[in-house]
Structures are given as structure tokens and as C-alpha cells.
Amino acid sequence: MKLMAGNSNLPLARDIAAYLDLPLTDASVRRFADEEVFVEIHENVRGEDVFVIQSTSYPANDNLMELLIGIDALRRASAKRITAVLPYFGYARQDRKPGPRTPISAKLVANLITTAGADRVLAVDLHAGQIQGFFDIPTDNLYGAPVMAADILERTGGQNLMVVSPDVGGVVRARALSKRINDAPLSIVDKRRDKPGVSEVMNIIGDVKGWDCILIDDIIDSGGTLCNAAEALMEAGAKSVTAYLTHGVLSGKAVERVTNSALKELVITDSIQPTDATKDSPKIRILPIAPLIGEAIRRIADESSVSSLFD
């Protein structure tokens, strides 16, 4: 088994390598003068089971091309099996047609990864379950809920908690977390989104008065939805609001927005390499996800069960 990393999140790749007690494959990923991506592998990978670790986060297109070209280089170097490990799968939010004459970009990117030569995909908290079906190759979707639940129980003891979904579409994810923290009660924030990146909280389904609320979602981008939800929950009488999200995209002024919000704390994983502003924010804490990904990689290489990780 070999591990190869692109440039999108080298600290996470090194942590995964340390968990597996393996070195990262000696490879260089660089740019020509016109910004073309070039990948060169400096060691033999013929007949090897290779895992390419690359989040397709900002800059999404550059990181996606690194992934595709890296997979192609491995295929042409006769690797036995190539697994694309995507701690964060960019374009996942474009998983359906929101209107006429619009693309389903998540399916396009899935086709690109398959055509490049990947034999398998390992992703973390895909934005929608149906994205697994966009790939015509085996796809494992890891869930961040066990890591989050362990952290919540360690810090709170599981007392006086209510799990809150920031929208109706996230109820399944919220219910899965609530089962892991002593079957905590569930409530939902009902919101209306008039255009991308802008949301308006309408009302809260459930009585949150006096509860320590745990907001759960997969992605925080601009932070508007989450901060509005936290404010609405506090106005409805919540004792405190803590948010747990897998992927901290945190674009634009999101960090500033979170820091000035009603949130007690925002907890994200390191599926996307955090910026200095994210690390410096007093309200943002980062959970390591390398052990979860590393254990899944080990089980795929050993041909053992990945789903039993979540039993």
C-alpha cells in the first residue's frame, strides 16, 4: 500500500500517513509558467495499491486538476489499484438541477475522476447520499458523526442536550447524531433561501427553551445560515448553541461572522486545511479526522469491512 498526497491539505495527509505508519510517496506536484499542473512520481508504484489524498477545496479547480493528473500518472505507472481519497468533495452541492438549463456538476466531476483512472473513491460526509450513485466505481462515504459524538459526550457528558438541524434536509444527519448522544431530542430550524448564500430563518420546530443546542450540518460556507439559526435559537430561549460541521469551507467573511455570532463554539474537522484566521478565531475548534480516514484506508487495503466503523 502506498499513500500519495496533492497540495490541497498536506498536514492532513501527513497525519493519515503517521496513523498508518507509512511514508508519503515521493512525488512532486508543481506548476508550469502558464499554471498548467504537472505531477511526477519519483518511486516505483507498479502493482501497488495507491491511495491519493486530495480535498477538492479552494482553489477547487486547481486541486481537482491535481487529483485528476495524479491519478492519470499512477495509472500510466501501472499501479494495481488507485483509490481517490476525498476528505472534502468539491462541487458536491451541485448534485441536482435547481432550475432550467443548469448543470449537475457533481456527476460531471465523478465522471472525470472515473475516467482519469480511479478504481475506488473514499469520501467524507458527502453533501447528499445520492452522490455515491454518481460514481460507476465502488464508493465509500465516511461519516463524521462518530467523531463528533465522542467529542460532545467527552465535553458535556451528554446532559441537557438537544440536537438541531439547520434545515429540513439535514434531519437524517441530525437524527443519526442524536442516537449517538443518548437519544437526545431533536428540533429543526425552518428557513427560506431566496438565493445562494443568503438565508432567512423563519421559525423553529420544537421547544428549545432551556436546552444546550447542538447544531449539526456537513458544510459551513459563508456562515449566514448557521449564524442566523444560532441567533433564532437563542431568541427562542436556548441556553447555549454549539455547532458541529464536517467541512469548514468558511469563505469570505465567514470566520468574522462566526466570531461575532451567538454561537458558543463552532467545531469543524480538518477535512479542509484551516486558514490562519480560522485557527486564530476564539470560537472555532478543529477536530482531527485523520484516524477515521486512516482506519478506513487500512480496512480497504486489507479487504475488510468499512461500514463496521460506524456500528
Q: Quick check: 156 and 275 in contact, CB under 8 A? A: no
Provide the pLDDT for residue 203: 84
**Per-residue pLDDT at 182 exceeds 80:** yes
Distance in angstroms (rounded) separating the CA atoms of residues 283 and 267? 8
**Annotation marks residue 253 as catalytic:** no
d(CA 115, CA 131): 17
Q: Which residues pair with 41 in a beta bridge?
A: 27
**Could you give the domains of the chain?**
2-142 (3.40.50.2020), 145-288 (3.40.50.2020)
With cell 482519469, the residue in question is 116
Catalytic residue among 179, 191, 195, 264: 191
Q: Residues of the chain with pLDDT > 70: what percent?
A: 96
In single-letter form, the type of residue at position 117 comes to G
User: Considering only 193-207, 235-249, 266-280, 295-309, which range has the smallest mean pLDDT?
Assistant: 193-207
Greater confidence, 194 or 278? 278
Q: Could you tell me what percent of the chain has a pLDDT over 90?
A: 88
The whole-number pLDDT of residue 194 equals 61
> Which residues, listed in sequence order, are joined to residue 50 by a DSSP beta bridge?
2, 82
Cut 0.95: pTM above it: no
* Residues annotated in a binding site: 34-36, 93-94, 127, 167, 193, 217, 221-225
One-letter amino acid at 296 equals A
> Which pLDDT score, from 0 to 100, does residue 200 have?
66
Report the pLDDT value the prediction gives residue 191, as an integer from 0 to 100.
Answer: 74
Distance, CA of 61 to CA of 67 (rounded, Å): 10
List residues forming the annotated binding site for ATP. Answer: 34-36, 93-94
Q: What is the pLDDT of residues 44-54, one digit of tens each?
A: 999 999 999 99
Which residues are part of a known binding site for Mg(2+)? 127, 167
Quick one: how many helices (H) and strands (E) in the chain? Answer: 9, 14
- Grid cell 515521493 — which residue? 26
Q: Residue 193's pLDDT is what?
A: 61
Which of the pair, 190 or 91, is modelled with greater confidence?
A: 91
| Under 8 Å between Cβ of 265 and 235 | no
**Confidence (pLDDT) at 63:** 96
For the stretch 274-301, pLDDT in tens is 999 999 999 999 999 999 999 999 999 9
pLDDT tens, residue by residue, 142-170:
999 999 999 999 999 889 999 999 888 88
Q: Which of 251, 176, 177, 175 is nearest to 206 (CA)?
A: 175
Given this model, what pLDDT does residue 311 score? 75
**Mean pLDDT throughout 234-248?**
95
pLDDT at residue 202 tops 70: no
* The predicted structure's pLDDT at residue 196: 62
**pLDDT value at residue 115:** 97
Q: What is residue 158's predicted lDDT score, i.e. its pLDDT?
A: 86
pLDDT band at 225 (very low <50, low <70, confident <90, very high): confident
pLDDT of residue 195: 63
DSSP 24: B
- Alpha-carbon distance of 113 to 104, in angstroms, equals 15
Average pLDDT, integer, range 257-268: 95
